[in-house]
Amino acid sequence: VSKLVQRGASVTVVMSADAQRFVSPLTFQSLSGRPVRTGTYDLVDSSDPQHIALTERADLMVIAPATANVIGKIPNGICDDLIPLMVIAAACPVVFAPAMNNRMWEHPAVKNNIARLREMGYDFVGPTDGWLACRNVGPGRMSEPGDIVEFIEQKFAAETKQSQRV
């Protein structure tokens, strides 16, 4: 978030309930300088559903970390929280930065869902091999923030960075 803001992007952070167990929304509000969206029914405007309003203002969506859970929901149309709702409603490119245990990453269901998402036109950055939260070493580590930003800049180099909203 900070690296994108430093490059002139206007970043709106959306957090799942599980993500909020790891990091406080206040952290991302401080980094982005904008309110953090945490729920499907936290309305931006009472006359406009949040998942539509937020996606209409975005030039790009980055799902980081993209868990096996969210990677499984989207190709199956499961929209039970704000993040998959926004991805399904998005009119902009979406980039996933997967992060999960190496056995989860290598599971056939996850591989199948990733293949389906790629067929739908979604992009992926990472994961990389490395030390995982479960204390294993292997594939599934989320790409470093700088690498994610570099991927975004390379992929969308034609976009004017000053006007990007992520």
pLDDT single digits (tens) 68-97: 999 999 999 999 989 999 999 998 999 999
Candidates 134, 145, 146, 154; catalytic one: 134
Strands 123-124 and 94-98: parallel
pLDDT digits (tens, 9 = 90+) for 60-70: 999 999 999 99
pLDDT digits (tens, 9 = 90+) for 93-119: 999 999 999 999 999 999 999 999 999
pTM assigned to the model: 0.87
Q: With the CA atoms of 127, 133, 135 and 141 taken in that order, what torsion angle do they form, in degrees rounded to the nearest 10?
A: 10
| Among 22, 24, 27, 86, residue whose Cα is nearest residue 58 | 86
Whether the per-residue pLDDT at 11 is higher than 60: the answer is yes
Please name each of the domains of the chain with its CATH number.
Answer: 2-159 (3.40.50.1950)
Higher pLDDT, 90 or 48: 90
C-alpha to C-alpha distances, 64 to 43, 45, 47, 61, 83, nearest whole angstrom: 23, 26, 29, 10, 11
The pLDDT of residue 115: 98
Residue 44: pLDDT band (50, 70, 90) is: low
Q: Note whether 107 and 140 are within 8 A (CB).
A: no
CA–CA dist 31, 34 (Å, integer) = 8
Query: Has residue 162 got a pLDDT over 70?
Result: no
Least confident range of 26-40, 49-63, 140-154 = 49-63
Gap between the Cα atoms of 133 and 100, Å rounded: 8
Task: Say whether 134 is catalytic.
Answer: yes
Confidence of residue 42 (pLDDT cuts 50, 70, 90): low
pLDDT of amino acid 154: 87
Q: What is the pLDDT of residue 125?
A: 97
